[in-house]
Amino acid sequence: MWPAKDPEEPERMTELVQRRPERFFADRFNVTPSVMERLLGSALKGRVDDADIYLEYRVNEELVLEEGTVKKASRHVSQGAGVRAQAGTRTGYAHTDDISLTNLEEAARQARAIADRASASGVLAVPSRRSHDLYTLAESPTLADLTRKLKLLRLVDAEARAADPRVRQVIASVSSEEVVMLIATASGFAIGDVRPLTRLNVTVIAEDGAKREIGAHGGGGRVALDYFEEQERWRRFAREAARQATLKLSAVDAPAGTTTVVLGPGWPGILLHEAIGHGLEGDFNRKGTSAFAGRLGQKVASELVTVVDDGTLPNRRGSLNVDDEGTPTGRTVLIEHGILRGYMQDRLNSRLMGMTPTGNGRRESYAHPPMPRMTNTFMLAGEEPPEDIIRSVKSGLYAVAFGGGQVDITSGKFVFSASEAYLIEDGRVGAPVKGATLIGNGPDALTRVSRVGHDLELDEGIGTCGKDGQSVPVGVGLPTIRIDGMTVGGTQV
């Protein structure tokens, strides 16, 4: 049964739509930016290098339809605050799920006790970059009527089943979220944000005799529910999940060995995200544990490779008006024509490294301290037609979608499984294959990029990134690229 809504919710949601988080926290919890700033001043001033208070109110909804039956209908509301104090390399963090002045004062004392030291070098000011308004919506995704969401899922279910008679099971879900946050820093800066997020997922199981395969597709972003209704995106998601499942029924075993690999546009950018993205985050480089540490200004990739992290793309899953430290997001060039140009920074690591915050300080919730994280990370387009890149390969692998993978930040070594891939034979895309894994070293793989297409695409809006036990929504992207001499693990030689 769909949980009852807070009787104060219509008024609260009106406030959120009007994008006034300061008033929301003042009215509901009697906590204003001035109160937060006074608390920082009285409890932490002169004792630490930097400090902030983060307030959060979050609403999550999920509706799951499995085999035409509602299997889950949930609604969860959470709230809380986190207080952080920094002194040198030490960070004190305390959080509470009760937003009150008394609890905030106690959290500040505890954070200071962890980070306190005899002297401090001053507070880092938030840069004066212009703020954004990237995802103002006419209607919050959490306000959409339940019957409307259920109708959408039933349409998806019917479409996936109609796509192919071999489809046996369909699972469709829609999840929605809205987060209102407010942060005040010891430098006297306070800013809030209201963050919508929604996602539609489709999983299809197809069978042909004894063979059974799974296909999945989905997407979303910081958008309203009508995003999926526009241009009937839901129909494309359903058919794509069915196509992937039925395609695998005829897939052959992937060959193993060293070969040329062509990555398709869009979601294959997840390999870029994992293989080198984490290695370009500030904390790993400050500590010297990244394969890219100390290499600014050096060539680390093919001259065809330019990689950026951009948190300012409207309505994208990984975009933010401000990060979780109050710094406006930006477009950070990480690698430019093969040369390492920068790292993704939060306030702590930028202060210790003598660099500027880039708006990449992110946290999963009020219960977690922020750290350098990616937003939307992608490689810029080149000039070649993608069909010419495939035509240039006599024998190789064309990978267009990926499942799970893992990477070692220190060495850059990675392993990724391709959920959709094809043989390339004499410059043509051939039979679909299963069981293909890409094995390599991120920095080394970048030097092997020999051709880059003009067809840059961003993913549909499904990425979630994990780091140190925290998960945050992200975006990835890639044009078609050719990587020479890559190791492919398969099921036959």
**CATH number of the structural domain 9-248:** 3.30.2290.10
Distances (CA, A) of 279 to 89, 340, 473, 489: 20, 12, 18, 24
Q: What is the pLDDT of residue 433?
A: 96
Q: How far apart are CA 113 and CA 115, in angstroms?
A: 6
| 71 in Cβ contact with 65 (< 8 Å) | yes
SS3 of residue 206 by DSSP: strand
For the stretch 370-393, pLDDT in tens is 999 999 999 999 999 999 999 999
For the stretch 259-302, pLDDT in tens is 999 999 999 999 899 889 999 999 999 999 999 999 999 999 99
For the stretch 156-205, pLDDT in tens is 999 999 999 999 999 999 999 999 999 998 877 889 999 999 999 999 99
Q: What is the pLDDT of residue 88?
A: 85
For the stretch 140-159, pLDDT in tens is 999 999 999 999 999 999 99
CA distance from start to end of the chain: 53
Query: In this structure, what token pair is assigned to residue 369?
Result: 């301290």
Least confident of 41-55, 192-206, 386-400: 41-55
For the stretch 292-303, pLDDT in tens is 999 999 999 999
Q: What is the pLDDT of residue 34?
A: 85
- CA dihedral sign, ordered 107, 111, 117, 122: negative
Q: How far apart are CA 135 and CA 57, in angstroms?
A: 18
SS3 of residue 62 by DSSP: strand
Residue 67 DSSP class: T
Q: Per-residue pLDDT averaged across 448-464, rounded?
A: 97
- Sorted by where each begins, the domain ranges of the chain are 9-248, 253-489
Distances (CA, A) of 381 to 73, 331, 390, 401, 440: 41, 16, 16, 18, 23
Q: What is the pLDDT of residue 315?
A: 97
Reply yes or no on whether the pLDDT at 96 is more than 50: yes
Q: How far apart are CA 55 and CA 31, in angstroms?
A: 9
Cβ contacts of residue 113 below 8 Å, gap of 6+?
A: 92
Q: What is the pLDDT of residue 408?
A: 85
Residue 155's nearest CA partner among 228, 252, 221 is 228
Reply yes or no on whether the pLDDT at 351 is more than 70: yes
Q: What is the pLDDT of residue 33?
A: 87
- Res. 235 pLDDT band, cuts 50 70 90: very high
Residue 22's nearest CA partner among 34, 10, 11 is 34
Average pLDDT in the chain: 90
| 335 in Cβ contact with 300 (< 8 Å) | yes
Reply yes or no on whether the pLDDT at 10 is more than 90: no
Q: What is the pLDDT of residue 6?
A: 55
Distances (CA, A) of 226 to 12, 133, 152, 194, 326: 22, 20, 10, 19, 30
pTM: 0.92
Query: In this structure, what token pair is assigned to residue 40?
Result: 């920082």
Q: What is the pLDDT of residue 78?
A: 97
Reply yes or no on whether the pLDDT at 369 is more than 70: yes
Reply yes or no on whether the pLDDT at 449 is more than 80: yes
Q: What is the pLDDT of residue 8?
A: 54
Strand-pair partners of 82: 54, 95
Reply yes or no on whether the pLDDT at 17 is more than 60: no
Q: How far apart are CA 449 and CA 256, in angstroms?
A: 20
